[in-house]
Amino acid sequence: MFTEAIEAILVDHCTPAAIRAIENGGSAAALWGALAESGFLELMASEEAGGAGLDLDAVFPIFVAMGRHAVPVPAAQRIAARALLGDVAPPQGLLTLAGHAQRAADGSIGAAHVAFGAIADHVLANLDGQLVLLDAARAQRTTTGIRGSLGASLRWTADAVGAPVGDNGAQVAVFSAALHAAALAGAMERLFAMTLGYCNDRVQFGKAIGKFQSIQHQLSVMAEHVACAGVAAELAFKAGEKIPPLLATATAKARTSASVPLVASTAHALHGAIGVTEEFDLQLYSRRLHEWRMADGSETYWNRIVGEALLGSATPSVLQFTMEEIL
């Protein structure tokens, strides 16, 4: 019910034209306002606080849908912030997550490559294990320099940092990685649908190129990776839980990120020259795939976390470790 409703809002307000406008410096107020007024930003808030009190398994398809629509505002991060903050009410405005903020010797705080850091009003950050709310308007922002990217590195002076609002800062990085795993799964679904549609429509030598065996083989491999990414991403969103578990999230982020190079390159290869043009929508999703693959750490970072946990475990087999710690 929630997924269908938010899909309807995204179809109306998160069009490719709206995404391009926000990427080029336009206001995100219309899209953000539509999501806020519908109440979707409070899905994980408790019912006592006026929210829906949803668990992770209920919000997973919503986060996937946001990836499928390449949502250019931190809506998923704002929904997650409600679970991370507990009884603390988040501030109004665009709020994003920073899982690895660091304090410098002069007391300033830096957060590198923050998703939506270029447009966020507030940042909920993990600072030495503490949960801190930071006013993005007081930060020095350095954009990534990548065309269309809404990410940025932010730095605050020491006097801009208030008291912690919780001691669960480590959960920010894990939740942010889970969000990106779900977004990757959704964006890959969209990329595959676009590619399959193009191969069925594009005619060469008297028949659709999707009828050629070599094209079918590439589509089959692409479909396997997209399906695998969807299943892996769901691992992080356990029923009855509010915060994604570390090892399941590490597996989800690692596996979805690992599929990005093949899915993106196959999509562009099968679209031919049109696939690399700015006017064609394919780049809206493939650019995000590469950016989200690196967000919160690539597959190399998260595979290491799983590997270290396995080596430190007393379980007698990899299968048993997987069954007990990840699934």
The candidate with the shortest Cα–Cα distance to 114, out of 298, 300, 294, is 294
Residue spans per domain, the chain? 171-312
Query: Are the C-beta atoms of 149 and 22 separated by less than 8 Å?
Result: no
26 Cα distance to chain centroid: 21
Q: How far is CA 275 from CA 186, 262, 266, 287, 298, in A?
A: 19, 15, 11, 12, 25
Fold of the domain spanning 171-312: Butyryl-CoA Dehydrogenase, subunit A; domain 3 (1.20.140)
Separation between Cα atoms, residue 274 and residue 171, nearest integer Å = 41
pLDDT tens-digit series, residues 262-284: 999 999 999 998 888 999 999 99
pLDDT tens-digit series, residues 232-255: 999 999 999 999 999 999 999 999
Tokens of 210: 């999707």
Question: In which band, very low, low, confident or very high, does the pLDDT at 188 lie, cut at 50, 70 and 90?
Answer: very high
Query: Are the C-beta atoms of 171 and 179 separated by less than 8 Å?
Result: no
Answer whether residue 1 shows pLDDT above 80.
Answer: no
Q: What is the mean pLDDT of the chain?
A: 96
CB-based burial label for 9 (10 Å; 0-12, 13-18, 19+): middle
> What is the percent of the chain where pLDDT is above 90?
94
Lowest mean pLDDT among 1-5, 201-205, 302-306: 1-5
pLDDT score at 19: 98
pLDDT tens-digit series, residues 89-134: 999 999 999 999 999 999 999 999 999 999 999 999 999 999 999 9
pLDDT (average), residues 293-320: 97
pLDDT score at 49: 87
pLDDT score at 274: 85
Answer whether residue 181 shows pLDDT above 90.
Answer: yes
pLDDT tens-digit series, residues 288-299: 999 999 999 999
Query: Are the C-beta atoms of 109 and 103 separated by less than 8 Å?
Result: yes
pLDDT score at 273: 83
Separation between Cα atoms, residue 190 and residue 188, nearest integer Å = 5
Q: How far is CA 148 from CA 16, 25, 152, 159, 182, in A?
A: 13, 9, 12, 32, 21
Separation between Cα atoms, residue 264 and residue 256, nearest integer Å = 12
What radius of gyration, in Å, describes the C-alpha atoms of the chain?
20
Answer whether residue 321 shows pLDDT above 90.
Answer: yes
pTM here? 0.96
